[in-house]
Amino acid sequence: MVVTGGASGIGAAVAERLASHGAEVALLDRDEVALRRVVDRISTRGERAAAFCVDVTDAEALERAVDEFTGRTGRLDVLVTSAGIQRYGDVLETSRALWDEVLAVNVTGTFLAARACLPALRRSRRGAVVVVSSVQGAASQTGVVAYAASKGALGAFARAMALDEARHGVRVNSVSPGSVETPMLRASAERFGGAAGADELLDRWGRAHPLGRLATPDEVASVVAFLASEDAAFVTGEDVRVDGGLLAGIPVLLPEPGRSGGEPEAPR
Ligand SMILES: NC(=O)c1ccc[n+]([C@@H]2O[C@H](COP(=O)([O-])OP(=O)(O)OC[C@H]3O[C@@H](n4cnc5c(N)ncnc54)[C@H](O)[C@@H]3O)[C@@H](O)[C@H]2O)c1
């Protein structure tokens, strides 16, 4: 199993969960120190993980890592793409360089990881790809045009790939998390927390979800693990929201106390 972005947040939780199910997991990430920390944690439990320090925008490095891993394991059944970055700005605030950076990591990096893994996934005849998208692929907030565009592209990419790969026995699905307590979300909260601070903003974002809190990375990982497993053998081309009910609601609330679906804001 290959997990991109495996050094942190959702990717790390996915890698830990898949390893705990007995799989040998390759963690691909550009953050060498964080990568080593997660792989050591998995190995200490007697489970199997390998670290590959790779930038997902580097097609050759990705292919080398995947070839080395599959050369050793002999097969590859699962790819999870979680490497991603968040950047901010409306159209005029978004420079060409920033736009290119977000699309390169979030979209091209996912495409390149899929390209590197696909020959082995097809050979396995029961391969599964899970793309980590976001609720931002379907609904948005202000000031995130590049990120939202990248997540919209990922949903379309996963659907299109699912159709192409069905005849090869490879299933392709995506998950769309709401706000998940990870370093990425905390960085956003630190940037926008103002006088009230990051913790208060994280709390408010959590309360904006009908379930009243942020998700843990493992609550996303459990859905990813299901989609990657044979329990989801007839599921392909699907996007599963893991958003605490965020996109089930509209921010136009009835006045009676207790009838509302939460505060009218959708942070991520
Ligand atoms: N945290 C949330 O609230 C949230 C919500 C919806 C979707 N997501 C998505 O989930 C995914 C994981 O996010 P997270 O919150 O766990 O973030 P995170 O920052 O904790 O982890 C992202 C990981 O991706 C790695 N990465 C970034 N660019 C890379 C590159 N070019 N090459 C290799 N590795 C790279 C980082 O080093 C990091 O380890 C992202 O795609 C993000 O858009 C997150």
Distance, CA of 171 to CA of 182 (rounded, Å): 27
Asked if residues 246 and 209 have their Cβ atoms less than 8 Å apart, the reply is yes
Contact residues of ligand 1, CB 6 A cut-off: 5, 7-11, 29-31, 34, 55-57, 82-85, 105, 109, 132, 134, 177, 179-180, 182-185, 268
pLDDT < 50 positions in the chain = 261, 266-267
At residue 250, the pLDDT reads 87
Domains of the chain and CATH, by start: 2-180+215-245 (3.40.50.720)
Task: Using the atom order of ligand 1, give the atom closest to the CA of residue 151.
Answer: 43
At residue 99, the pLDDT reads 98
Task: Using the atom order of ligand 1, give the atom closest to the CA of residue 34.
Answer: 39
Distance from Cα 247 to the centre of ligand 1, integer Å: 21
Its pTM stands at 0.95
At residue 258, the pLDDT reads 63
In the sheet with 2-4, reading across from the earlier edge strand, the strands are 49-53, 25-29, 2-4, 78-81, 128-132, 171-177, 239-242
Distance, CA of 52 to CA of 36 (rounded, Å): 9
At residue 257, the pLDDT reads 67
For 53-88, write each residue's pLDDT tens digit: 999 999 999 999 999 999 999 999 999 999 999 999
Task: Using the atom order of ligand 1, give the atom closest to the CA of residue 187.
Answer: 19
At residue 253, the pLDDT reads 81
Asked if residues 46 and 21 have their Cβ atoms less than 8 Å apart, the reply is no
Asked if residues 127 and 172 have their Cβ atoms less than 8 Å apart, the reply is no
Residue 85 φ/ψ, nearest 5 degrees:
-130, 155
| 88 part of the active site | no
For 154-194, write each residue's pLDDT tens digit: 999 999 999 999 999 999 999 999 999 999 999 999 999 99
Structure tokens at 186: 């905390």
At residue 254, the pLDDT reads 86
At residue 11, the pLDDT reads 98
